[in-house]
Amino acid sequence: MFQVLSHRVYGRLFCAQVIALIGTGLLTVALGLLAFDIAGANAGSVLGTALAIKMVAYVTVAPIVGAFAAQLPRRAFLIAMDLVRAVIALTLPFITETWQVYLAVFVLQSASAAFTPTFQATIPDVLPEEEDYTQAPLLSRLAYDLESIVSPMLAAVLLTVINFHWLFAGTVVGFLVSAALVLSVALPVSPAKPREGGIYDKTTRGIRIYLATPRLRGLLALNMAVAMGGALVIVNTVVIVKGRLGLDDNAVALALACFGGGSMLSALTLPRILERHADRTVMLSAATILAAVLGGFALLLFARGWTFAPGASAAGWAALLVTWALLGIGYSATQTPSGRLLRRSAHADDRPAVFAAQFALSHACWLVTYPLAGWLGATLPLATLAALFGAATLLAVVGAARLWPAGSTEAVLHDHPELPHNHPHLAEHAGRHSHAIVIDDLHPSWPSRAG
């Protein structure tokens, strides 16, 4: 997996991603402390609102950026977004009002919504070989998991010697170093060409292509499965561990580390698995693991009568940790190969828009599951909550299996009714494959590679 880091351009881009992630992790810790400093007992509602604002920014801004950013110089655009994030982070220590927190979060996350899909759409052009590109999403997943462990630990160490406001300085440094690393490399010119049509056509193009592609419709259902399993862990771990079990912060960290450890284990073993099995098989199997683990955990809680109250048995605590680790495995294995699907499902011209569509639609799923996990987690027994989320995850897996055709690992016939019959995306594939068919003059079908 790590040999791809010897590629000079990708190696520096990956370092930029890791350093920016650590800066963002410090920002998350500092933002929580800032919210408590401003709002006191209402800090939870402030953070919850800020998280919702983050998701709204991701869902609304990414498609707009996907429509226009591809026409801009990639390197300059990525550097500009890093600098915007650094400037906003620099203002955070001086914030004294709740509305200022919300405004800063929206601007900063809008810049992230512009940066991330553009960055992701650049990697396939940096690593054009399938074998090399396969490693990139796995390394990114590993970086996210390591950040979730390293950033809180680093913040805890720094807070022993500095005020939490100085953590924002770490965030600023992270974004500036990321910008410097991007500046140090020459990026491939985006193959995207200016599009005709109005703002609506341009901003919805990626989503329309995405929803017209069967395997990507299946990916959307898998995004919901991942969001169901992930939201239950991310939102409710602290509630379960501290609120219901009465344990301390170290126990919360241990539970989240089990989830992150499972995710890392999955990322490390996926390269060999993807060499032997099709993406569809791997992703559907992993999502099924999510549903089965949630359902099995619910049955175990019902059968043992575990209520997860203070003083609960050690066996119940151990079962929670094992469950979180298994959910981490399914979570990572389901979502990590998605970059391969997007790369295979989009002509180079359309890749930025399709990556932006995935970014927006996947976060729209989280926008649903985050509050759902919070509201239900506050009122339902854990067994009932796990059962409901397991059932919803299973429905998403069944939907993905129906939407994503099986049978061929290389070609799936499908149509793009939103594209004109002379669109180069259709013309290229029709010319490449002699068995391409035309349903009618306005709805040509073309075979595309299915992972």
Of residues 349 and 263, more confidently modeled: 263
pLDDT digits (tens, 9 = 90+) for 285-333: 999 999 999 999 999 988 887 766 666 677 888 899 999 999 999 998 9
Asked if the structure places residue 198 within a domain, the reply is: no
Please tell me the distance from the alpha carbon of residue 204 to that of residue 207, in angstroms, as a whole number.
5
How many domains does the chain fold into? 3
Pair 380, 231 in one domain = yes
Asked if the structure places residue 160 within a domain, the reply is: yes
pLDDT digits (tens, 9 = 90+) for 367-415: 888 888 878 887 888 899 999 999 999 999 999 999 998 864 444 444 4
Asked if the structure places residue 435 within a domain, the reply is: yes
The answer on pLDDT for 261 being more than 70 is: yes
Please tell me the distance from the alpha carbon of residue 72 to that of residue 69, in angstroms, as a whole number.
5
Question: How would you classify residue 406: left for phi > 0, otherwise alpha for psi between -120 and 50, otherwise beta?
Answer: beta
Of residues 73 and 157, more confidently modeled: 73
Please report, rounded to a whole number, the percentage of residues in the chain having pLDDT higher than 70.
80
pLDDT recorded at residue 173: 92
Of residues 423 and 28, more confidently modeled: 28
Q: Which residues contact 60 (CB under 8 A, 6 or more apart)?
A: 360
* Residue 412 β-bridge partners: 448
pLDDT recorded at residue 296: 95
Pair 216, 144 in one domain = no
Which tokens is 395 given? 């429905």
pLDDT recorded at residue 149: 66
Asked if the structure places residue 197 within a domain, the reply is: no
Please tell me the distance from the alpha carbon of residue 171 to that of residue 158, in angstroms, as a whole number.
13
CA separation, residue 52 to residues 48, 56, 83, 358, 451 (Å): 6, 6, 24, 18, 33
Window from 27-36, 78-87, 272-281, 389-398 with minimum mean pLDDT: 27-36
Please tell me the distance from the alpha carbon of residue 86 to that of residue 189, in angstroms, as a whole number.
25
CA separation, residue 353 to residues 109, 113, 259, 285, 348 (Å): 18, 13, 32, 28, 10
pLDDT digits (tens, 9 = 90+) for 159-216: 778 787 888 898 899 999 999 999 998 888 766 565 555 666 667 778 888 888 899 9
Q: Considering 189, 224, 250, which residue would you say is the last residue of a domain?
A: 189
Specify the CATH number for the domain of residue 10.
Answer: 1.20.1250.20
Can you tell me the mean pLDDT for 346-366? Answer: 82
pLDDT recorded at residue 188: 80
Q: Model-level pTM greater than 0.75?
A: no
The answer on pLDDT for 244 being more than 90 is: no
> Range of 361's domain?
204-406
pLDDT digits (tens, 9 = 90+) for 56-78: 888 888 777 766 666 778 889 89
Window from 237-246, 274-283, 401-410 with minimum mean pLDDT: 401-410
Angle between helix 279-304 and helix 382-403 axes, rounded to 10 deg = 160
Contact 394, 423 (CB under 8 A): no
Pair 391, 419 in one domain = no
Please tell me the distance from the alpha carbon of residue 186 to that of residue 125, in angstroms, as a whole number.
12
Asked if the structure places residue 196 within a domain, the reply is: no
pLDDT recorded at residue 166: 87
The answer on pLDDT for 55 being more than 60 is: yes
Pair 297, 238 in one domain = yes
The answer on pLDDT for 38 being more than 90 is: no
Asked if the structure places residue 120 within a domain, the reply is: yes
Coil, strand or helix at 51: helix
Coil, strand or helix at 438: strand
Pair 112, 4 in one domain = yes
Asked if the structure places residue 194 within a domain, the reply is: no
Pair 337, 427 in one domain = no
Pair 35, 125 in one domain = yes
Pair 7, 145 in one domain = yes
Pair 254, 172 in one domain = no
